Chain A
């Protein structure tokens, strides 16, 4: 069973701080990595995707991938109360063109005003 692990939280950070969300995965062959945000009572929406080692930045969000250590992280700078949500890490372990997308159980983030 290919696993994707996240700390369930809740992770509480003050407004304006950096929130750091982490995800580890078990399959070294994993190729594609995604972070989804899910507000309470809503469906998931994509925040970031990352496919290569290193950092990828999009506004206040930075995804970091380290395939050697098998972890992917999401940093949220200048956290806002509107960032309070559950963040899901998803990993495609099936290789290019195949489908074995496994979701972590999510980390609940709470940004305190």
Chain B
């Protein structure tokens, strides 16, 4: 059974804190993605990775960075959290080819920045 897990289901942080969101997949997928989902705005891509140590910016990378040191793990980092980063964060993975295959989503992390 395919699985994408995220480190926290709910997270509350303060403005200015450094925040780490972790995502792990057990499907040996090359591609991994970080999205945020906000009411009225839909799913928006923050960053994606198509291989270990490889990353590409998505549509809204500002204020975020990522790390992929191992194939199964993709981390999203908020360098200095701000209230406008309060959102639902979804991680996904997919096999190749990039963009042409099903994405498997994790359960999401609802982040609140106070």
Contact = CB atoms under 8 A, between A and B. Distances in A.
Contacts of A31: 100
A24 interface: no
A106 B37 CA distance: 11
Given A43-B106, A43-B107, A99 B98 contact: yes
Contact-size category for B: 20 to 34
A88 interface: yes
15 contacts: A31-B100, A32-B100, A42-B107, A43-B108, A44-B105, A46-B102, A51-B100, A88-B43, A96-B97, A96-B100, A97-B97, A98-B98, A104-B42, A105-B41, A106-B42
Given A42-B107, A92-B100, 4 more contacts: A43-B105, A44-B105, A88-B43, A97-B99
B99 A105 contact: no
Interface in A77-113: 88, 92, 94, 96-101, 103-106
Interface in B1-60: 31, 40-45, 48, 50, 56
A46 B103 contact: yes
B70 to A, nearest CB: 21
B90 interface: yes
B99 A94 contact: yes
A31 B105 CA distance: 22
Interface of B: 31, 40-45, 48, 50, 56, 90, 97-103, 105-108
Contact of A97 (B43, B100, B102, B105): B100
A68 B42 CA distance: 26
A99 B56 contact: yes
B42 A92 contact: no
A22 to B, nearest CB: 16
A11 B42 CA distance: 17
A45 interface: yes
Nearest to B35: A103
A102 to B, nearest CB: 8
Contacts of A43: 90, 105-108
